Structure 1
Amino acid sequence: MPQKIRVLIVDDSASVRQTLAHILESDPDIEVMGVASDPFVAARRIQEEIPDVITLDVEMPRMDGITFLRKLMAQRPIPVVMCSSLTEAGSETLMQAMEAGAVDIILKSKIGAADSLADDAMRVREVVKAASKARLGNLRSIRSVSAPAPISPTAKLTADAMLPPPTGRAMAKTTEMVVCVGASTGGTEALREFLEALPANAPGTVIVQHMPEKFTAAFAKRLNTLCEVEVKEAEDGDPVLRGHVLIAPGDKHMLLERQGARYQVSLRDGPLVSRHRPSVDVLFRSAARSAGSNAMGIIMTGMGDDGARGMLEMHQAGAYTVAQDEASCVVFGMPKEAIARGGVDRILPLDVIAREVLITQSRF
Structure 2
Amino acid sequence: MAIKVLVVDDSSFFRRRVSEIVTKDAELEVIGTASNGAEAVKLAQQLKPQVITMDIEMPVMDGISAVREIMAKCPTPILMFSSLTHDGAKATLDALEAGALDFLPKRFEDIATNKDEAIALLQQRIKALGRRRVFRPILPRSVPPKPATTTASTTPTREMAQRPATRPSAPVTRASGKRYKLLLIGTSTGGPVALQRILTKLPANYPHPILLIQHMPAAFTPAFATRLNGLCAIEVKEAQNGDQLRAGCAYLAPGGMQMMLERGGSFGRIKIVAGSMDMNYKPCVDITFASASKLSGGETLAVVLTGMGADGREGARMLKNVGATIWAQDEASCVVYGMPQAVTAAGISSQSIALDDMAEAIIRESGRG
Range into which the TM-score falls when normalised by the shorter chain: 0.7 to 0.9
Contact 2:306–2:339 (CA under 8 A) maintained in structure 1: yes
When residues 331 and 138 of structure 1 are mapped into structure 2, their CA distance, relative to the original with a 3 A threshold, is: farther
The correspondence of residues 279-358 of structure 1 with structure 2, limited to 5 A, is 279-358=284-363
User: Displacement of 1:292 after TM fit?
Assistant: 1.2
User: Displacement of 1:18 after TM fit?
Assistant: 3.3
Partner of 2:183: 179
Structure 2 residue runs without a partner (length 5+): 139-159, 166-178
Partner of 1:188: 192
Counterpart-to-counterpart distance in 1, 2:44 and 2:92: 25
The correspondence of residues 128-167 of structure 1 with structure 2, limited to 5 A, is 128-137=126-135, 140=138, 141=160, 143=162
Counterpart-to-counterpart distance in 1, 2:196 and 2:56: 23
Counterpart-to-counterpart distance in 1, 2:205 and 2:45: 52
User: Displacement of 1:91 after TM fit?
Assistant: 5.4
Contact 1:56–1:80 (CA under 8 A) maintained in structure 2: yes
User: Displacement of 1:355 after TM fit?
Assistant: 3.9
The correspondence of residues 204-283 of structure 1 with structure 2, limited to 5 A, is 204-259=209-264, 261-267=266-272, 268-271=274-277, 273=279, 275-283=280-288
Partner of 1:70: 68
When residues 68 and 6 of structure 1 are mapped into structure 2, their CA distance, relative to the original with a 3 A threshold, is: same
Counterpart-to-counterpart distance in 1, 2:91 and 2:121: 20
User: Displacement of 1:333 after TM fit?
Assistant: 2.5
When residues 115 and 189 of structure 1 are mapped into structure 2, their CA distance, relative to the original with a 3 A threshold, is: closer
Counterpart-to-counterpart distance in 2, 1:144 and 1:57: 24
The correspondence of residues 1-16 of structure 1 with structure 2, limited to 5 A, is 3-16=1-14
Q: TM-score, normalised by structure 2?
A: 0.79
User: Displacement of 1:262 after TM fit?
Assistant: 3.6
Contact 1:10–1:55 (CA under 8 A) maintained in structure 2: yes
Matched, 1:111 2:108: yes
Contact 2:164–2:355 (CA under 8 A) maintained in structure 1: no
Output the aligned Cα RMSD.
Answer: 3.0
Other structure's SS at 2:80 match: strand
Partner of 1:168: none
Contact 2:261–2:268 (CA under 8 A) maintained in structure 1: yes
Contact 1:94–1:219 (CA under 8 A) maintained in structure 2: no
Contact 1:199–1:228 (CA under 8 A) maintained in structure 2: yes
Contact 2:135–2:163 (CA under 8 A) maintained in structure 1: yes
When residues 39 and 327 of structure 1 are mapped into structure 2, their CA distance, relative to the original with a 3 A threshold, is: closer
One-letter code aligned to 1:304? G
Partner of 2:124: 126
Partner of 1:101: 99
One-letter code aligned to 1:333? G
Which is richer in helix?
Answer: 1
One-letter code aligned to 2:162? R
Contact 2:188–2:308 (CA under 8 A) maintained in structure 1: yes
Contact 1:297–1:311 (CA under 8 A) maintained in structure 2: yes
One-letter code aligned to 1:143? Q
User: Displacement of 1:192 after TM fit?
Assistant: 1.3
Instruction: Deviation per CA, 1:125-152: give whole Å up to 9, x if none.
Output: 3321221122212753453889xxxxxx
Other structure's SS at 1:293 match: coil
Partner of 1:170: none
Moved more, 78-87 or 197-206: 78-87
Contact 2:45–2:74 (CA under 8 A) maintained in structure 1: no
Contact 1:138–1:329 (CA under 8 A) maintained in structure 2: no
Matched, 1:60 2:58: yes
Structure 1 residue runs without a partner (length 5+): 147-174
Other structure's SS at 2:309 match: coil
Counterpart among 78, 81, 84 of residue 80 in structure 1: 78
Q: TM-score, normalised by structure 1?
A: 0.80
Counterpart-to-counterpart distance in 2, 1:187 and 1:357: 17
Contact 1:87–1:93 (CA under 8 A) maintained in structure 2: no
Other structure's SS at 2:298 match: helix
Instruction: Deviation per CA, 1:311-348: give whole Å up to 9, x if none.
Output: 12211121111122234333333222211111112233
Moved more, 125-134 or 44-53: 44-53
Counterpart-to-counterpart distance in 1, 2:361 and 2:124: 32
User: Displacement of 1:229 after TM fit?
Assistant: 0.9
Counterpart-to-counterpart distance in 2, 1:213 and 1:206: 17
Counterpart-to-counterpart distance in 2, 1:219 and 1:120: 24
Partner of 2:22: 24
User: Displacement of 1:25 after TM fit?
Assistant: 3.8
When residues 269 and 179 of structure 1 are mapped into structure 2, their CA distance, relative to the original with a 3 A threshold, is: same
Moved more, 123-132 or 96-105: 123-132
When residues 73 and 176 of structure 1 are mapped into structure 2, their CA distance, relative to the original with a 3 A threshold, is: closer
